[in-house]
A and B are shown apart, each in its own frame.
Chain A
Amino acid sequence: MADSFTLPLRPLIEDRDRPDTLPAEIAQINNQWGSFRDVNEEVLRTKIAEEYKDDLDEDENNKNASDLDSTERLEQLYKRRKDIIDFATQAHMEAMFAVDFISLLLSKDTPRQAETSMSPFLKQIAPLGSLNAEVVNPPPKPDSTTKDISAVSRGWRIQNFNGAANKLLQAASRLETEVASETRYWNEVLTVKEKGWKVSRLPREKQALGVQYGFLEATPIFRDRGLASLRRAENGSLILDKGLIPAKARFVRVRVMQDGQLVGLSNSTTPTNDEETIESRILQARDTLYEEELFHELVREARATASYGVTTRRNLIRIPASDNLEILLDLVDANENDPQPDQDISQNGTRIAEGLSHTIRILLAYAHRQNLHRRTLLPLPLTPRKRTIPEHQLFRPALAYIQHMSHVLWLQSFLKDISGVLHSAALDIPAYTKHVFSTRLTKTSSTPTAEAVVERFLVPFESTFSGKLLTPRGSFSIAIRTYLSSPPFGTNFEVSCTMPDYPDSKSPGRLSLREEVEAAITHLLLLDVVFTTSSNGLPPPKPEKDTKENPVWEAVYPQHGELVLSSSNPEKHKKIKIALSRHELSLQTYTVRCIDGSGRGHWEQPSQTPKHYTWGTPLACHQSLMAVVREASS
């Protein structure tokens, strides 16, 4: 377009630089030097000689001046000074005359003003307003003067046109760059808008554009920070002006410590790309805002959960998760080099860290949705009290999960150990069944799937273990429940059992310590072993023997694992003492000399060296428990 339309702004300049025409020059020479006819060699020589002499005279004068002595110089100085003063006086007088003249001329129109600049002498001799001036037709100027004037004015005009043209061209080029940068600016704004960002006028600064990248449902201080103005740089590129907020990218780092050693680390979620497009800057601003809000909410939650031992420092949250696991959350710069060496980082730890870092972010997004839901409900009546917003659940569910898993794994390993001990004694306890995270949610149709998925994570966790015992119809079940968001806080185990053979046994109910659970289950299995032993610890009665004298291992103190085989001889009661722990099952057989064989403590007098059998340890007995019992009873 610029090519098709060119407007000449500079005036057309005729080529005036060509030399004067030859006749004019000849006329000039004739005028100055006389006719060419008079020019001959002699004339020219005398001319040159004269010029040379003039130069010499000047030199001589200079030389004479330097030779003058000081008195003459002083005289000359005074003379010159007098001359200067004379000239000045004369100039002053002429100026005064001029002032008088002008004043007299003006005194006709403005007498008062003119009077002030009149000399007193003039005032005396000439009355005010006695001089007038009128425009008279000037005499016609000669052609040459008119020509000169027109040439000069033409020159001036050309010069001014040139100046104007230069200014216009400058303005045009400035406008052009301005248009280019404006075009670039608006194109970039359009790209931002086409990417789906909300572009709007700033509420405080009406003439500036802003882009909204924050989250509408965030905490008010972070919601209001989600708006940055789009400013134009000199060259038209877009600048994201976030005001005083530093432009650094930050993120919440999750570190997992095991026994004081760093075992897992979560990485920055956003890829740090070096190309600085406006899109990436907006994204970075949004992510940083999200991370800062996340950390803010985490600190709020950490303060609320101080009772779990969660501690907060200025920029660090320390959460004891389970056993020897500790989780550290802090807000760090995204491009900060990690000073920690990577040698200790295990895959498992990294998995926990990454999982936790994803969990807290998903839960914050869920909390935003809940905020929207809460905001659009019909508001409660206005009261003077301010309602506090409850802390969002961010790390608590993950913490509950970790604790729950830790308890489940512990229980699993405990059951494995103890059933291993029983198996090594050839007591075939049936395998238990487990349902980890058996919580069932009643799915309401109104919640969207995404929220329903997260809701599953927010309810108390429950896992159940159930199995059968050695005694017929006997069974046990253990339910582990972990609550971190609603009371009762923490994990509890609900152990229940049914033992039809031992009606006195009661389910231990709700327990909260691992030691208690271990003791309860061990005790339960001990009772089970005792009753199994008493019911089929004897070899099948021989048919020729008298059936009514068939002796029986009687569980005298089942809680202590004691069984007695009564004998007709009061000195020869046989006794078995069974002890069960997580790692071993031990059995002791001896003969007691008690009346009924049921005495305990110091009443019990072992008559012979007791025999020890253990299972589950390296020095284990190779016989089965039943075989040992049968041997003892024979």
Chain B
Amino acid sequence: MHEVLLFASVPAHQHYELLQQLAGLTAMQPRHCLERRLIFKAYRKPGLMAGRTGASQDIQSGDLQRLNKMLNGSMYYTQVVGPVTEKDFGAAIDSDMHMDGTDEKPEAYRYDYEHQPWRLEFRDIPEAGTRSAVTSRQMSSSSLPSGDVMPVMSAWGYNFVNEHVVEGDLFVHNEIVIFLQRVLQYPTDQEPSQPRQQMPPLKDMMPLEKSGSYVLQASITVQDGSNQETMKLASQHLFGLREQLKSVIRLEQADRLSLDTRAK
């Protein structure tokens, strides 16, 4: 699948007004979203370097060629996304540590890491050399087993890098998904080696952009990226939105290299 995108930067003071305007445009109430995003980096397992690097005369069979391509192809960062709610922040960890149960309130909400649903999102580097004024890139999403993702991800050859939280509001305008979002960072400085079991209160989360500004992302997912007609149609829809929002914000293509997901 492909996705076609346009971005705009929204200063913090315009945020509320823009929410109202988007609600009017899309005729729907904003859907508030909070997502944990875990960043993973692929690495090459040392034993699996099967390619022969020397000058070899023998011709590789097709399967072997494909396998080699897969194994020696470029490596990517991927992210694992888990939707959370506001209640999950600052909630006590769900564990059986307090076995006496006398001082616990039974109605206290607990964040259940063991049942946290996850979704693996892969985004390629945006396509280069397209004439169109939109960002288009290959993408894929698939759901993961809920709970602890570390064993799964490390089995697939991914290292945990970092995590952050994205908060924002989602609108749907025909085929266009408009996501007005900003990145929140965890308050502590140290880099954890695995995803957190427990989350700090939401008010302690620091926006990555200190001014508190938001990013507006308008995207259309296209089933078949090789179909030029559909891609063109999707771009035209985005341009239509750009025209409609022209007096409010400036939607534009993102810098290709800033969306580079390749792991060096």
Contact = CB atoms under 8 A, between A and B. Distances in A.
User: A and B: partners?
Assistant: yes
Interface of A: 216, 372, 375-384
Given A384-B227, A384-B230, A379 B28 contact: no
Given A216-B27, A372-B28, A383-B223, A378 B230 contact: no
Interface stretch (B39-47, B64-72, B126-134, B172-180): B172-180
A383 B221 contact: no
B223 A382 contact: yes
B229 interface: yes
B204 interface: no
Interface residues of B, number: 19
B220 interface: yes
B233 interface: yes
Given A379-B220, A381-B222, 15 more contacts: A372-B28, A375-B172, A376-B172, A377-B172, A380-B221, A381-B1, A382-B175, A382-B220, A382-B222, A382-B223, A382-B230, A382-B233, A382-B234, A383-B230, A384-B227
Contacts of A380: 221
B32 interface: no
Contacts of B220: 379, 382
A377 to B, nearest CB: 7
A573 to B, nearest CB: 75
Residue among A372, A376, A382 with most chain B CB within 10 A = A382
7 contacts: A379-B172, A379-B174, A379-B220, A381-B223, A382-B230, A382-B233, A383-B230
Interface string B174-216: 1111000000000000000000000000000000000000000
Contact of A376 (B1, B28, B223, B224): B28
Interface string B23-66: 00001100100000000000000000000000000000000000
B83 to A, nearest CB: 12
A378 B172 contact: yes
Contacts of B221: 379-382
Contact of A379 (B1, B177, B227): B177
Chain A, interface SS category:
loop
Contacts of A381: 1, 221-223
Given A375-B172, A378-B177, A383 B224 contact: yes
Interface in B157-177: 172, 174-177
Nearest to B237: A382
Nearest to B2: A381
A375 B222 contact: no
A375 B1 contact: no
Contacts of B175: 379, 382
Nearest to B221: A381
Of all A-B residue pairs in the complex, the 4 with the closest CB atoms, nearest first, are A381-B223, A381-B221, A383-B223, A382-B222
Contacts of B1: 381
Nearest to B4: A382
Contacts of B227: 384
B227 to A, nearest CB: 6
Nearest to B139: A381
Nearest to A376: B28
Nearest to B227: A384
A384 B225 CA distance: 11
Contacts of A372: 28
Residue among A378, A379, A381, A383 with most chain B CB within 10 A = A381
A609 B222 CA distance: 88
B230 A376 contact: no
A384 B31 CA distance: 28
A159 B174 CA distance: 70
Contacts of A216: 27
Contacts of A383: 223-224, 230
A23 B117 CA distance: 120
A382 B221 CA distance: 6
A200 to B, nearest CB: 10
Contacts of B176: 379
Nearest to B174: A379
A384 B234 CA distance: 11
Contacts of B174: 379
A384 B177 CA distance: 18
A384 B232 CA distance: 11
A624 to B, nearest CB: 66
B222 A376 contact: no
A379 B176 CA distance: 8
Contacts of A382: 175, 220-223, 230, 233-234
Nearest to B172: A376
Given A382-B230, A382-B234, A384-B230, A375 B28 contact: yes
Contacts of A379: 172, 174-177, 220-221
Nearest to A382: B222
A376 B31 CA distance: 9
A446 to B, nearest CB: 14
Contacts of B31: 376
Nearest to A384: B230
Residue among A216, A376, A377, A383 with most chain B CB within 10 A = A376
Interface string B226-253: 0101100110000000000000000000
A255 B126 CA distance: 62
A66 to B, nearest CB: 93
Contacts of A377: 172
A437 to B, nearest CB: 35
A464 B261 CA distance: 61
A551 B264 CA distance: 100
Contacts of B224: 383-384
B218 to A, nearest CB: 12
A626 B234 CA distance: 83
Interface in B1-18: 1
Contacts of B233: 382
A457 B233 CA distance: 40
Contacts of A376: 28, 31, 172
A378 B177 CA distance: 7
A376 B29 CA distance: 9
Nearest to A217: B27
